[in-house]
Every structure is written in C-alpha cells, then in structure tokens.
Amino acid sequence: MSQNDEIASRLEEFADLLEARGVEYKPRTYRRAAENIREYPAAVEGLAAEGEEAVGEIDGVGDAISTKVVEYFETGEIEELEELRAELPVEMEALTAVEGVGPKTVGTLYEALGITTLDELEAAAEAGEIRAVEGFGEKTEQNILDNVDFAREAHERALLGEARPYGERIEAYMSDVSGVEKCALGGSIRRWKPTIGDVDVLVGSDAEGEVVEAFTDWPEVDRVIESGETKASVYAGDDDVRVDLRIVVPEEFGAALQYFTGSKDHNVAVRNRAIERNLKVNEYGVFDVSGVEDDDQRAGERVAGETEESVYEALDMAWMAPELRENRGEVEAAANDDLPDLLETDDVRGDLHTHTEWSDGGHTIEEMVEGAEAFGHDYIAISDHATGPGMVGGVGVSDEELREQLEEIEAVAAEADIDVFSGVEANIAEDGDISVADDLLADLDCVVASPHAALDGDGTDRLVAAAEHPEVNAIGHPTGRYLNRRPGLDLDVERLAEVAAENGTALEVNASPARLDLSGAAVKQAVEAGATIVIDTDAHSPGNFEQVRYGVHTARRGWAEAADVLNTRDTEGVREFLDA
Ligand code: DGT
Ligand code: CA
Ligand code: CA
Ligand code: ZN
C-alpha cells in the first residue's frame, strides 16, 4: 500500500466509525477527502511535511482533516481514530462485507447485542435476536443469514489480480535459488481462478533445508506462518497474501505438480481413469498396481512422474492447460484428443471497452489511444458511461455531451496511428431499456450495454432484451458481479448466448480483476451456444490495458479459442461484426 492509500484507509475507517455512531454528513466529507487523497498524483506525506495549509490544497480536504493527516505522518496514528476504535471495537471491514450491512447497522448491533465479529453476527441471527432489535425485522435477519457465508469466504480470499503478481515474483525468486532444479506455481493460481485462497509454489530440489531458508528470507515475506523440512507458509506483502511452498525430489516433480495443481475434482476424475487401467496416481508418481497388495504410496512399478506430461501420457491422455482442470469434461476431451486450441493473450488485438475523463476515467481520449498503441493494440473503442440507472454523482455523460465527444473522438482518430472506434457504455435498465437515444447509438461504431444497478435476482430477460436491441454490439460485464462483494445477477447463460448469437451481439469477459465477468464456467456455456465473446479491460487508465491477460485466462477457463473471440480479429473483421 502506498502512503496515500494508508492515510486514505484511515480516513475511511474514521468515516465508518462516525457513521456507526449515527453522525450525519461528516462521514461523507471524510470519504470524499479519502478518495481525493488516494488519487492524488504525488505523495501526500510531502505536503504533510510542509504543514496543514499545504495538505488543505487537496480537493475536499478541510482544516479538521488536514490536521489529522499531519498528525498521522508525524506520530504514526490519529488520536481521535484510536478513541473511536476503543469505543467501538468491531471488525468493521468483515461485518460490512455482508451485503446490506453498513456501518450504521454495525453500530446499532454493537450497542444492542455487543456484536463485534462475523461469527457473533451469524449466531445472533440464528438465535432470532436481530429481529428483536428496534428498527430491524425478520427480513434483515434472513438477509444476514443468506449473505454471511459469502462475506466470510470473501474475507479470506485474495483476488487473482492481487495474488498473481506475488505468485509470479515468488516463482522468479525461487527459480534463482541455488539447489532449485524445478519451480512452478500450482493450485488455484495456476488455474487462474478468480479468487485465490493461497498461492502454491512447488520446487523440485535435493537441498530442502536451503530452499526453505531462502523462501522464508524472501524480502516480501511479512511473517512466517510455519516452516518445516519440506514445506513452509508465509504471509507476503501488505496485502497478507498467503504463500505455501512445497519441496519434492526432482524425479517426482511432475506428479507433485499435477497433484497440487488440482482442482480436487479434476484429480478425482484422473484417479478414476487410472483405476480402470490398474494404475495408481498420486503426488509421487504413476504406479502399476496390478497384483500389488502393499498399500504404501510408492508401491508398484513406477511408470511416470518426472514430468506432468508423463503423468497424463501414462493414462493415455494429452497434457492440458491448467485452466481446463475443473472437471468440466476435460478428462474425456484429453483422452479423445479433443482438447480446445485455447486462445492466447497475444491473440488479442484491441480493446472495445475503455473510459476517459469524459466519464470516470482519469485520462484524455488521446492518452487512452496512445496507451492502447503503446500496449501493442491495433484498435480501441472509447466507451464512456452514459447517464442512466446506476450512474451516480454525475459520472454519466448526457446524449448531448456524447455528440460532442463523438466529434472529438473522430478528430483524435484522424490523427491516430491505430484505429479508433467511437462508442459508449450505455446502461441496461431493470426492464431492459437502453439509456441512450437510438439515433445517437446508430451514429456510434461500438455500443456496449451493461447492467449497473438492481443487480439482484434473475437478469436473463433484462439482458436478452438488451442483446436484441439492434444498436447494441456487446453486453458488458453481464452479471454485474464484484468478486468478494456481490454475486451479481443470476443468468440463464445458454438462453442469453443463443439470443446474442442470433442478433450478432457479443458477450463480454470483463478483464478487470474485481469482476472477471463472465466467469469461465459461463464462457463455456456461451461458446457452446454459439455466442461471440469479447475480452475488454474496461480500462480507466492506460495502465489497465495489461489486465487483458486476466480476461484471456478467464476465457481459457471457458475453453475459448481465438475464433470465438471478437477482438482477436483485425480492424476490418471487427468493423464487419459491428456493422452487421
Ligand atoms: P485455493 O487455494 O483455495 O484457492 O484452492 P487450491 O485449488 O489452490 O487448493 P489448495 O491450496 O488447498 O490445494 C492445492 C491443490 O492441492 C488443490 O488444487 C488440489 C490438491 N489437493 C489439496 N488437497 C487435496 C485433497 O484432499 N485431495 C486431492 N485430490 N487433492 C488435493
Ligand atoms: Ca492454493
Ligand atoms: Ca495451499
Ligand atoms: Zn460498466
């Protein structure tokens, strides 16, 4: 976390605690200041060193807040915040992760029932104590029971986008340690699951002791959880990402990698295939167990295990990409030589969903176009938020302004070295209506329509209506889920995909690590139903373009091939799709 983030988080916590105590207006002021500090382009610590007046130059930061910022950088804490924490010793972040539970509810439940943790909240709901609190009813209580598990799990899992960079850095670091012959990531991070319980690292080496020591000495280790002879676990970085190391002898590396990559369901299916062949697969190898009585793990003649390929080959299967290993038919496909030829990140040639400062992005049209070019794209669509449901705080752009923006996009396009599509991200209202006038939509090259509000319940009819709209080219982040925060709309993906295919509307895999929407499982259904997928980053700054890989690997989890994905086509091919 940068220091701007740190002080911003403190101010946000301050706002939550004030709100929990029933204070009005002030929490909003603190949150707005926190946001501006977070976005401030230079280190706020520098301003704090100059004094309160300098800090007060930041938008939305008044006297009371600048005093706290200076106090924080001088003493390392904010006294008033410490007092509030002592008065209200609740696990605010965990509790407010429950959908429908805000700081105010937390404050009330603490006063009435002394609830401080998720476990206490769940117990009180189960015991029917919540409905007895003034202002609460059975509905709130049921809502808590429905959502507490989701919140608990969310609290314990990191986003792929947070964890993956740690995984890649620890893999690079361990690969350079002397005595390490082989090193790879395993587990959910190797399968690119959207959220990660822990990062699994596997090493093949005969020098366990030194390898464990080098691992716990990794500069990014925050604290060591446990450290043994052939394994160790640590928390890394400020984000407390858990990293698990296992060391095996190099000859068993392939079998161990296969085993620790999972998923569990995939491994079960693989083991069952082995049993049919009188073979046994485990983390040590593949063993011929015909006539073998001994139940030792390494009993029988060892027929494979040094490489992962050898493990699958021993079972008459082709090696398959880790993203496929979710027991969704990949074992059969690998046995029948019928695996998909998966899409690669390099296949993607452009981004069709991006934002600029016209809505909530941080950059000009020109900067986004140049960023896309620098990233290596052949084309980009500019698709700022239109006004409509879900667009609060003046984020959305009116039809009139969109007309103006269209002219500017065309002017930038005329000068640009890559192709620039004009576009918009329109909102899909609860009844399926699109928030922008039809004649304007018709004048834009690329129309993304997305749900941004009312993200509960079944959204199939709503999205089907949008997919049928003649001017809509793609459905953005179809479920509207936010990983770890809200599950989003329920969808009959097959039906939506059929309608989308008929109407020439693409379905997005939004590559933003907070979303990854559609999910891999949904992509598989969509592709099978004949829909075209588009992988967009929803970039709000040029730095976001590189997140495309998270979308690509999510689509790979859905068995997508390059031909299934709109933006693997060249500009002409995309234009054809948009114009059809
Ligand atoms: P995570 O960390 O919760 O995101 O998910 P994974 O899949 O990384 O799970 P983890 O870290 O508990 O274990 C890594 C892999 O090890 C897992 O994908 C499959 C394998 N594995 C772990 N425990 C078992 C088990 O009891 N049975 C089988 N067949 N495989 C297991
Ligand atoms: Ca794991
Ligand atoms: Ca693990
Ligand atoms: Zn959106």
Q: How far apart are CA 184 and CA 2, in angstroms?
A: 29
Average pLDDT of each block of 10 consecutive residues along the chain (580 residues)?
A: 80 94 92 87 88 91 94 93 94 88 95 94 95 92 90 84 97 98 98 97 97 98 94 90 97 98 97 96 96 88 97 98 98 97 98 96 96 98 91 85 98 98 97 96 98 94 98 98 92 98 98 98 98 98 97 98 98 97
Q: Is 363 helix (H, G, I), strand (E, B) or coil?
A: coil
Triad 49, 53, 58: Cα angle to 5°: 90
Closest residue to atom 3 of ligand 1, CA basis: 197
Q: Is 562 helix (H, G, I), strand (E, B) or coil?
A: helix
Kindly report the CATH number that applies to the domain delimited by 3-154: 1.10.150.110
Q: How far apart are CA 65 and CA 71, in angstroms?
A: 10
pLDDT at 2: 64
Residue of 343, 328, 323, 321 lying closest to 535 (CA atoms): 343
Closest residue to atom 23 of ligand 1, CA basis: 264
Pocket of ligand 1 contains residue 567 by CB under 6 Å: no
Pocket of ligand 1 contains residue 271 by CB under 6 Å: no
Q: How far apart are CA 360 and CA 390, in angstroms?
A: 13
Q: How far apart are CA 415 and CA 26, in angstroms?
A: 47
Strands of the 231-236 sheet, one edge to the other: 180-186, 199-205, 241-248, 231-236, 221-227
pLDDT at 462: 98
Mention every residue, 6+ apart, whose C-beta is less than 8 A from residue 301. Answer: 287, 288
User: What are the residue ranges of CATH 3.30.210.10 in the chain?
Assistant: 253-335
Pocket of ligand 1 contains residue 260 by CB under 6 Å: yes
pLDDT at 392: 72
Q: Is 437 helix (H, G, I), strand (E, B) or coil?
A: coil
Q: Which two tokens stand for residue 95?
A: 């509790």
pLDDT at 574: 98
Mean pLDDT of the chain: 95
User: What are the residue ranges of CATH 3.20.20.140 in the chain?
Assistant: 345-579
User: What are the residue ranges of CATH 3.30.460.10 in the chain?
Assistant: 158-248
Cα 263 to the center of its chain, rounded Å:
19
Kindly report the CATH number that applies to the domain delimited by 345-579: 3.20.20.140
Q: How far apart are CA 223 and CA 49, in angstroms?
A: 31
User: What are the residue ranges of CATH 1.10.150.110 in the chain?
Assistant: 3-154
Q: How far apart are CA 279 and CA 288, in angstroms?
A: 5
Please give the model's pTM, rounded to 2 decimal places.
0.81
Pocket of ligand 1 contains residue 194 by CB under 6 Å: no
Closest residue to atom 19 of ligand 1, CA basis: 262
Strands 506-510 and 474-475: parallel
Candidate CATH numbers 3.40.710.10, 3.30.210.10, 3.90.78.10, 2.60.40.10; the one for domain 253-335? 3.30.210.10
Pocket of ligand 1 contains residue 197 by CB under 6 Å: yes
pLDDT digits (tens, 9 = 90+) for 347-381: 999 999 999 999 999 899 999 999 999 999 999 99
Q: Is 348 helix (H, G, I), strand (E, B) or coil?
A: coil
pLDDT digits (tens, 9 = 90+) for 141-175: 999 999 898 888 777 799 999 999 999 999 999 99
Q: For residue 360, how far is its CA from the centre of ligand 4 (angstroms)?
A: 10
Burial class, 497, CB count within 10 angstroms (exposed 0-12 / middle 13-18 / buried 19+) = buried
The beta strand positions in 468-580, using DSSP E, are 474-475, 506-510, 533-536
DSSP 121-170: HHHHHHTT-STTSTT--HHHHHHHHHHHHHHHHHHH-EEHHHHHHHHHHH
Domain 158-248: CATH class, spelled out: alpha beta
Ligand 1 atom closest to 193 (CA): 4
HSE-CB for 186 with a 13 A CA cutoff: 25
Helix axes 3-20, 63-75, angle to 10 degrees: 120
pLDDT digits (tens, 9 = 90+) for 263-310: 999 999 999 999 999 999 999 999 999 888 888 999 999 999 999 999
Taking residue 83's Cβ as centre, other Cβ atoms within 10 Å add up to 11
